[in-house]
Structure 1
Amino acid sequence: MGIYSEAHICHCLSLLSTLRRNSVVTIAGNRRKTGKEFVDGVTGLAQGLLQLGLQSGDVVSIAAFNSELYLEWLLAIAYVGCIAAPLNYRWSCEEAVMAMKVVRPVMLVFDDSCASWYSKLQWIDIPSLRWHVLLDSPAEFVSTSYDNVLTIETIRKQSGRDASLDYCWAPEGAVIICFTSGTSGRPKGVAISHSAFIVQSLAKIAVVGYGEEDVYLHTAPLCHIGGLSSALAMLMVGACHVFIPKFDAKSALEAIEQHNVTSLITVPAMMADLVSKFRGKDTSTCIENVKKILNGGGGLSIELTKAATKLFPKAKLLSAYGMTETCSSLTFMTLYDPKMNHRISHPVDQTRGICVGKPAPHVELKICADGTSYVGRILTRGSHVMLRYWNGSAANAAAAADGVWLDTGDIGSIDDYGNVWLIGRANGRIKSGGENIYPEEVERTLLLHPGVTGVVAVGIPDARLTEMVVACVQIRENWQWMDTSTKDSVAEHMLRISSEILSRYCKEKNLTGFKIPRKFILWKKPFPVTTTGKIRRDRVRGEAMSHLQYLISHL
């Protein structure tokens, strides 16, 4: 068994094979599987992997859409003591290859989601890769790439159904390497343990209230930490899983209604799409079977929160703050509870930042600040913290050992009631005139303006101030940006917005003077983001600098 036998994510299989033996636990298109069928699928794969020759500690990469087969693979890989390294199906070939060269997988499991880049692998040397496995039905693009592609059926036929098969552990108790792009765009592999996933799942079960009666819709991809941790929580309680290959509002709403979905997770963009799509369908009805929604990946605006509660009036709506390096959620906050007088919480305070709630039961947090301030870097420690960055140096590794704290990279505070308040990212800090400015505070203020739909604040080098604050602003369709060339030509019916108007608005909202942007740039395209949806501030900064230099050169 080894020293890691106290925690293994496959412990959930016992519940599925007994209490849920004859109940449907997965729905994917026309495929439905009972608890017994799902567990047999996992153990059959596990036996086949052992027969192929996989050994404890081997890494297996998966590049695929969501399905029950994906979930079976994750558990089978863990069962035999290997480590799963999911790849983002949205990646380019270069990003996928970069990630595989970091984790050195012996096997790649794939489906049609990676058709755009899979065939290119035959021209790229990945020395560790010995097996290619097609996750689902045969794909046309495979024949042009490799002749030795295995299928699930081939692997399961090798299974000897050895009754003595038991769980195994990889070194360090690692089970999944989950990639995070941070804000640089370069994938980093985060090694996470069985223990981390289990304590995270137990926290979600306790705080959100998941149970056996839940029907959970997989909206988040299983290559992301939110999708992975929530999937395991649902496996632990024996809930029913509903899969759509990837999120789109139409498919999600159809699945919610068809299968009486009770639970799902979202990020703000998903919720906005659901609200928008449902409004277009029928404005007179709502969805009453959904009871629990957990939002992550950024806070919901008060407007979107209100719209969500109208769409899902019987759902408890919570938000979570966390990161891949902490195996998902660190804190939870209830935004709306239909059982609590229908009150909607508004967690934004212009002076303190965004309230993200209280730490989960298993999470220890502290603020590392100097003696003159209660604001500082948010640190955490415990079994939820990653083991390390895969193949990372000691300098960038973070251990979950006693006494070792992980710096989240976020700046914030903890109030007298135990609530955590976020101000911004440490690496996004702007140093202007000797003062520290966090762009998120500037952005929150500007987003309150009715004509602003999006904003990114960055620091641009300045000879006098070191850096000056520049705000790149997206405006609503029915608003007109005014500058020296448009002031006399704006149509009477247009709503007007300008640098002067926005600067004055910041003052009216009591934004401290040195934090008010010195320059405003009209941004007419989507902001550049990583594959996990994080703003690429480095690219915004570069384009903003080029724009300002162009203006100076043409004066």
Structure 2
Amino acid sequence: MSTYSKAHICQCLTRLSTVRRNSPVTISGARRKNGQQFVQGVLALAQGLTELGLRSGHVVAIAAFNSDEYLEWLLAVAFVGGIVAPLNYRWSFQEVKSAILAVKPVMLVSDESCSRWYSELDDDSEFPFLRWRVFVGSNSLDSMKLPNSLATETIRSQTIRDLDLNFTWAPDGAAIVCFTSGTTGRPKGAVISHSALIVQSLAKVAIVGYREDDVYLHLAPLCHIGGLSSALAMLMVGACHVLISKFEATAAVDAIEKHSVTSFITVPTIMVDLISSITMKENWRGKHSVKKILNGGGSLPPELIGLVANFFPQARLLSAYGMTETSSSLTFMALHDPTVAEISRQSQGPEGVCVGMPAPHVELRVHRDGRILTRGPHVMLGYWDQYTAPQRLEPTDEIWLDTGDAGSLDDSGNLWLVGRINDRIKTGGENVHPAEIEAVLLQHPGVIGAVVVGIPDARLAELVVGCIQLRESWEWSDSGCCVAEDESRQVLCSETLTKYCRAKNLTG
């Protein structure tokens, strides 16, 4: 296969060095870099890594806060054919140790966020494969005295011999090994190819509408596939990146106002904190600049969607459903669009939660037992232990990735998510999905939070139990009174909620 037909995430460098040559590409604290400066920084680092001895297929682990240097490291390692393994700076040392022993990086790049790990890592007998430790940030090297320690600037080549973008690939075109969130146990390293990341970027460009004139605020950590994939999409179009080290609501709101941010991604927790911080401001000056918001990691309740529409009146709000193993988003759904009078959507219903339609490159299938399957160029090459196995199974056209989720596809092609296959509650011989009941409970005006679990029961095997969080204006009654008996009070009881669920076609 000729290399001119192969995808590579560093192909964005050509556009950045020409179309965005003199325009800002990264704003990280007090540092601003235009396209030319950013690309030269990547090339200088890539050349320095080559001179140091980094080769195709070598793994470089990165554990750091978000910064412009993180983006440069990501691209520089990929440029020379290395594989980046982002590590979560929030992890305990035992979690980090497990990941490092799994992928065996030759280099660890970190900043002050991970200083608590350093003394533990100073054991060459336990990590003999770790040849270099590199610190990001001007003061890191002064405070850390570990063997084989380097600073980013000491690695960068002072003279770039070859400015041609002649990048290299790792075996099978692997670009990153990204660790899953671990919903079914210990996090596993998903090996994701350059092609998968490019396809995901194109999906976000097409559906969310990322453009060259966007100012993108990094709210999600780059160690997660959501933050990483959106960053690559923005690099592809040549947008400007505004980076704050980690999410803090006040800092994020200030950045939106200061830099006229046009786009960002969130999860429900981040969105709640953002809205709360904005509400406390006397004069909110960022309401008209934001045009695109992509939410993942869970659905947004209608009340929160309304608040987003109020505080970001020019923004198109979309939700996405996906996972690490599929390079991020599988489906997208519009939640609010200021250019459309009313969006016709069914966010919740008797079949679970609607998460929208598959992206154009995504093929979805629902197995007869309800498992959601997918295949296509967006799917990972495999988990790390499969990728590095001496004898790997060759993929065939009939292999589908099991997402581990259960759901259904309606006649319009929308995917309805019921919950995790392994989360099903077996009660009285019937399978019950907690997420389906939670979705119905959250539709009640008095409920803002709901969790459904199964507890052991001698007769039913498992008893379905719901835990709810009431809105401030509502109260709970154990005596069985309901709203209908006293219209002046907003009261909930178990009998009321049971009737409500039955009215929504839930039995039991």
**TM-score, normalisation: structure 1:** 0.84
Match of 1:469 in 2: 464
Aligned to 2:440: 445
Q: How does 1:82-93 map to 2 (within 5 A)?
A: 82-93=82-93
Aligned residue pairs total 496
Q: Which amino acid aligns with 2:357?
A: K
Please, which moves more after superposition, 346-355 or 438-447? 346-355
CA distances 1:319-353 after superposition (whole Å, capped 9, x unpaired): 11111110011111111111112x25553333122
User: SS of 1:78's equivalent?
Assistant: helix
Check conservation: 1:47, 1:158, Cα contact below 8 A: no
1: CA distance, partners of 2:325 / 2:115: 30
The alpha-carbon distance between structure 1 residues 135 and 159, as it changes in their structure 2 partners (threshold 3 A), is: farther
Alpha carbons of structure 1 residues 165 and 330: separation in structure 2 relative to 1, 3 Å = closer
Looking at structure 1, the residues matched to 237 and 20 of structure 2 have their Cα atoms a distance apart, in angstroms, of 10
**Structure 2 counterpart of 1:368:** 367
Matched residues in 1 for 2:46 and 2:228: separation?
A: 19
> Residues 62 and 400 from structure 1, CA distance in 2 versus in 1: closer, same or farther, beyond 3 angstroms?
farther
Any idea what SS the aligned residue of 1:265 has? strand
Cα offset, 1:382, TM superposition: 0.5
Which residue number in structure 1 is paired with residue 482 of structure 2? none
Check 1:107–1:512 CA distance in 2 against 1; reply closer, same or farther (3 A cut): same
CA offsets, 1:215-261, max 9 Å, x none?
11111110111111111111111111111111121111111111111
State the distance in 1 between where 2:394 and 2:317 align. 33
Match of 1:260 in 2: 260
Deviations 1:202-226 (A, max 9, x none): 1111111111111111111101111
The residue that corresponds to 1:356 in the other structure is 355
Unaligned runs of 5+ in 2: 480-487
Aligned to 2:139: 138
Deviations 1:172-215 (A, max 9, x none): 11101111123145221010000000011011111111111111
Shift of 1:280: 1.1
Which residue identity is paired with 2:72? E
- 8 A contact 2:175–2:192 mirrored in 1: yes
1:146 & 1:284 partners in 2: Cα distance?
47
Whole-Å separation in 1 of the counterparts to 2:234 and 2:431: 42
Shift of 1:398: 9.8
User: Aligned partners of 1:112 and 1:399: how far apart in 2?
Assistant: 42
Displacement of 1:111 after TM fit?
0.5
SS of the aligned residue for 2:105 comes to: coil
1:399: Cα distance to partner? 7.9
Tell whether 2:386 aligns with 1:385: no
Alignment of 1:2-41 (within 5 A): 6-41=6-41
User: Are the aligned partners of 1:388 and 1:398 in contact in 2 as well (CA < 8 Å)?
Assistant: no
Q: Secondary structure at the match of 1:153?
A: helix
Query: Which amino acid in the other structure matches residue 132 of structure 1?
Result: R
- Counterpart in 2 of 1:433? 428
Residue correspondence of structure 1 range 90-169 to structure 2 within 5 A: 90-123=90-123, 125-139=126-140, 142-143=143-144, 146-157=146-157, 161-163=161-163, 166-169=166-169
Alignment partners' CA distance in 1, 2:216 and 2:115: 28
- For 1:286 and 1:136, the matched residues in 2 are separated by 30
SS at match of 1:281: coil
- Segment of structure 1 superposing worse, 282-291 or 202-211: 282-291
Read off the aligned partner of 2:375 and give its amino acid letter. Answer: R
Partner SS, residue 133 of structure 1: strand
Which one of 408, 415, 418 corresponds to residue 423 of structure 1? 418
Change (3 A) 1:503 1:4: farther
Residue equivalent to 1:227: 227
1:187-266 correspondence runs (5 A): 187-266=187-266
Following superposition, the deviation at residue 458 of structure 1 comes to 1.8
Which residue, out of 450, 455, 469, partners 2:450? Answer: 455
| Structure 1 contact 389–398 (Cα < 8 Å) conserved | no
Kindly state the Cα deviation for residue 479 of structure 1 after the two structures are TM-superposed: 5.3
Equivalent-residue separation in structure 2 for 1:282 and 1:426 (angstroms): 46
Deviation at 1:107, TM superposition (A): 0.3
Among 396, 405, 410, the alignment partner of 1:410 is 405
Q: What residue is the counterpart of 1:45 in the other structure? A: 45
Residue 497 of structure 1 and its aligned partner are, at CA, apart by 4.5
* TM-score for the superposition, normalised by structure 2: 0.91
State how far apart, in whole Å, the 1-side matches of 2:30 and 2:270 are: 25
**Runs (5+) with no aligned partner, structure 1:** 371-375, 485-492, 514-555
Distance of 1:498 and 1:264 partners within structure 2: 40
Superimposed CA distance per residue, residues 284-309 of structure 1 (whole angstroms, 9 cap, x where no aligned partner): 77611111111111111111111101
What is the match of residue 485 of structure 2? none
Q: 2:60–2:109: 8 Å Cα contact kept in structure 1?
A: yes
CA contact (8 A) 1:119 1:142 kept: no
Structure 1 segment 237-316 matched on structure 2, within 5 A: 237-282=237-282, 287-316=287-316
| Separation in structure 1 between the aligned mates of residue 243 and residue 143 of structure 2, nearest angstrom | 24
Q: Shift of the alpha carbon at 1:511?
A: 1.9
SS at match of 1:391: helix
- 1:264 partner letter: F
Secondary structure of the 1:455 match is strand
Which residue is 2:483 aligned to? none
Percent sequence identity over aligned pairs: 61
Shift of 1:502: 3.5
Q: Which moved more, 1:156-165 or 1:242-251?
A: 156-165
Give the 3 Å change call, closer, same or farther, for CA 508–418 of structure 1 in structure 2.
closer
Equivalent in the alignment of 1:545: none
Greater Cα shift, 169-178 or 448-457: 448-457
Q: 1:399 to 1:195 in 2, by over 3 A?
A: farther
- Per-residue CA deviations over 1:424-451 (Å, capped at 9, x if unaligned) read 1111111111111100011112223444
> What is the alpha-carbon distance in structure 2 between the residues aligned to residue 346 and residue 399 of structure 1?
41
CA distance in structure 1 between the aligned counterparts of 2:4 and 2:421, rounded to whole angstroms: 35
3-state SS of the aligned residue for 1:467?
Answer: strand
| Corresponding residue of 2:177 | 177
Judge which range, 255-264 or 470-479, deviates more.
470-479
User: Post-superposition shift, 1:480?
Assistant: 5.2
